[in-house]
Amino acid sequence: MMKHKKNKELLKKIYNNLIELGSSSTRSRLKHNLCDLTFVRSSEFIDAYRNKDEYCIWDGVDGNPKTVGYFIGSPAHKVVCVSPQELITIRPSHKLVVQRFQEYIRASPLRVCKSFNDGDSGAVYRNLIVRSTAAGELMAIVRIHPKELSSEGLMEEMDRLRTFFGAGPGQDCQLSSLYFQACKHSRCTANESPFHLLSGTPYLNDYLLGAQFRISPEAFFQVNTPAAEVLYKTVLELAQPDPNTILLDVCSGTGTISTVFGPYVERCIGVEVVRQAVEDARHNAAVNNIRNASFLCGRAEQLLPGLADKFYNKNVVAVVNPDRGGLHPAVVSSLRECESIKRLVYVSCLPEGQAMKNMVNLCSEHKKKVFGPPFTPRLAVPVDLFPHTNHCELVILLER
């Protein structure tokens, strides 16, 4: 009930912004009425559902600087790292990897990287990422800041990790894949800093709505697989595709939406900026025998204008699933200007953020630098991808 109330308040805020910032014709069209909001949809599986977790390394409650877990507190006062062992959303296999990795770094002479600029050649450990599948496949990714470690020093650290998880105390984790990345920035793509496979298979394989998906170290895959099935069924329901539909899959990631939509549409076109994700998407389409999907690598704001002419007089449904940063303003403009798009499904993990500005620009008339007929919100469906939290994924159907 609390989640339903929160999403209703979010819709009111979106509409208030539309009414306040829109033209008189916008106000007349919307008539101050909220679009329909369904109750929250969810999966029956609410515990140990997370298939991906990213753990920090910091001072623990007991003061130990090599504690692996999650931050609590505030920078203005004090931040400490707490263990995930008591959290019911975390899988037991992830907790074991955390425990063993903490034992490993506490026995290591290398220290924790707390600053990118401290010049300490002995401080390297940054974080740990753990991914898993319903079948029990398990991937661990150790990320460090190389500081001033030599190439030989990095190789020695990789050998120690390989031995620890392969033949040492960490072997009981039964890792399917062990990766290592030396990254000098807050985030590094594989192009900027490669992922080194220390042992095991390069990918995990998981299933969603009967389709198989390859998961590489940096691939995006919804963290709650059973709830993701509810999410994608909802997107399919709202999009209402038919055999003459062209799906425009913006922020297509590893091709999940295109793979799900493939059997129901004439053609799928995915747009994604991460090259590894595009490679995964092409593989996923092929392995699931989806022959009508193609994936373009690049920024959506650069690719969409060139695609618009190809959609002339076609039945186009757009599905956008951006990260928390929302859509680039140029992407919003391109979606507005492509008049063949009559139905747009916006999936947002943070509807109170940039997505709200996107809604205003998609639905308001006479917005500066935004052309094309405006959309109107018709239906909003919250999907609970994050049980035991206040957060929901919000799926909004826009039509024109």
Give the mean pLDDT of the chain: 88
The residue ranges of every structural domain in the chain are 2-43+224-399, 52-207
β-pairing, 79-82 vs 67-73, is: antiparallel
Strand extents, DSSP E, the chain = 36-37, 41-42, 52-58, 67-73, 79-82, 111-112, 123-132, 138-144, 177-182, 196-200, 204-208, 211-215, 245-250, 267-272, 293-297, 315-320, 341-348, 376-384, 393-399
3-state DSSP assignment of residue 28: helix
Contacts of 348 (CB under 8 A, 6+ apart): 322, 326, 355, 393, 394, 395, 396
Among 132, 133, 130, 75, which residue's Cα sits nearest to residue 99? 130
Check residue 120 and give its pLDDT.
60
pLDDT in tens, 198-251: 999 999 999 999 999 999 998 888 999 999 999 999 999 999 999 999 999 999
pLDDT at 20: 53
Domain 52-207: give its CATH architecture. Answer: Beta Barrel (2.40)
Query: Does the annotation count 349 as an active-site position?
Result: yes
Q: What is the pLDDT of residue 338?
A: 85
Query: Which pTM was predicted?
Result: 0.87
CATH 1.20.1440.230 correct for 2-43+224-399? no
pLDDT at 214: 92
Given 56, 349, 352, 365, which residue is catalytic? Answer: 349
CA–CA separation, 143 vs 342, rounded Å? 44
**Distance from the first to the final alpha carbon of the chain:** 31
Is 392 an annotated catalytic residue? no
Task: Using 50 as the pLDDT threshold, list the residues of the chain that sit under it.
Answer: 21
Q: Residue 133: name the closest of 75, 165, 177 by CA.
A: 177
